[in-house]
Structure 1
Amino acid sequence: MHQANGWTATGLRWQDGAPLLTASEGRQRHDRPLTDGLAVAWRISGPRRCTGAHTERGHRPCPHHATVQPEGTTSQCPSCQNADRGLQLARDRILDDGRDYRLYLAWFAPGLLKVGLTAEERGTVRLLEQAALAWTFIARGPLPAVRRAELALAHARLARERIPAAAKYPAWWQLPAPAERRAALTAARTRAHRLLAEQGHEQLEPLPDHPVTDQVELFGLTGGAPDRYQQVTSLADGARLAGRLRRPIGGHLFLDRPDGLPLLLDTRLLTGWTLHAEPDGPGCAGLTLLTRARPEAEQDALF
């Protein structure tokens, strides 16, 4: 590793149930395991550059070596966004690619249920990426049929197509018991199968007996999120991140630091920046932070 030149963060991915921070050093790409308790000390330098596109042939570096805005979670230039296979699917620019897909329900909190699709060859990675606390597959089939079913369940208001990250955070403080999570998801799956059967989605193969998978323990949330923490809302050239990682939650990192409240970092903010390992450097600095605190429990009136 060329620490003098640093390495560029290109994303967080899950492989075999383990989170990896992907990075590039020149033309070489590396995966860096993000283990529970890992000590990190990074200095961030710019400019922030486009992270390229994921295509049918794999990852393609940005041919323009373009710079992108330092704020926000978008780390692709317009050209790479247009070429990115995942974004093409999300924007319905790929109508059928010959692959099999699975339709899923993902549970994030009481009343917060998502319907989505993922290529069968990706297994359960999509559910790990988006920090689904519990999930189940409900059907499989070709992309057009699975997409129609996804829209049908969303239009019926059984589940949402998209849930922003900010809506997921509050649920981490107080989760219902595993049996309650499983019961809620199982009931939603039953309603979904009934609705799809009534509408006659013949090209779908229902998966009525697929088990419910709970990922709360995997994400280290059995005890909930820290009572108080600071969310990183933006990074800048020269910022520093230092502390000890907790288990990643989808694409989010909790970082315990000795000199303040824990930090919550959406790793999409990190992508495109050059990171330099500086274990002997100062603590966290140059970050825009938003303090979050567990809401106080409502108390019964005394009179």
Structure 2
Amino acid sequence: MTTFSTTLPGGTWTLGDLTVTRVGYGAMQLAGPGVMGPPADRDGALAVLREAVELGITHVDTAEAYGPHVTNQLIREALHPYPSSLHVVTKVGATRDAAGGWPPARSRDDLRRAVDENLDSLGLDVLDVVNLRMGDATGPQPGSLATELETLVDLQRQGLVRHLGVSNVTREQVAEARAIAPIVCVQNMYNLAVRHDDELVDELAAAGIAYVPFFPLGGFSPLQSAALTAVAERLGSTAMSVALAWLLHRSPNILLIPGTRSVAHLRENVAGAGLALSDADLASLDGIGRADVLAGPR
């Protein structure tokens, strides 16, 4: 498979020795309802993945827990053998239960098994980037991640993992992780309305570490704001496009991984991320999440 030489909004960022487009694609939505089971339209899911690569996207985010197993299998079917420019980023640290929950799976055996499963399902000999997922479904939780991260460092030394990241973590856990091993990315919930990581985003930018917001469009409940709608109407665009464009403007280390099941929506996301926002637009949008930031984490 080849890619078109398309210049995507925001340019590129470097994860360790890997160059990725700042506009990426998150594969979570390709699984069935509740991120469980297969997609209703398997051919459509494969088409979205192939279109992402055709558009020039070189960063695809996934996890063996999505489905479980489903999104990795789709990625392999659609894109393997992978273009040399394409980098698949996965995560470990959680599994799925019969009720669709996300129980932690962070023992040494759990993490080794998860890395092996990702290698097998993706058809790879080494994983480009593995994020250690901490916390739970409600968000980051305090506590040390040293034991878990050291397990991944050991797997890195064995040549199974190229680079490490952390996900669903507190600012203190990021600092702890960086003291243990080089970290190339942090993946937390962040968007126009969820701004608790503002200081962390800036700290990581100064250190050359990527910040990858999950739920950049608000998650399963899309972002809603009068200010966001007003900017979108003024630009003749959509609220979701404006939200993506704001993230690219927010900091150069922010990498986008919006997900979708639709080729048309994928193209809309890519085009929308490139919207030009004026200083007045940015000032208006910047105020959306400021009340929560001032109030602190809940």
TM-score where L is the length of structure 2: 0.31
Q: Which fold has the larger relative contact order, with Cα–Cα distance below 8 Å and residues 6 or more apart in sequence?
A: 1
TM-score where L is the length of structure 1: 0.30
Structure having the higher strand fraction is: 1
Larger radius of gyration: 1
Structure having the higher helix fraction is: 2
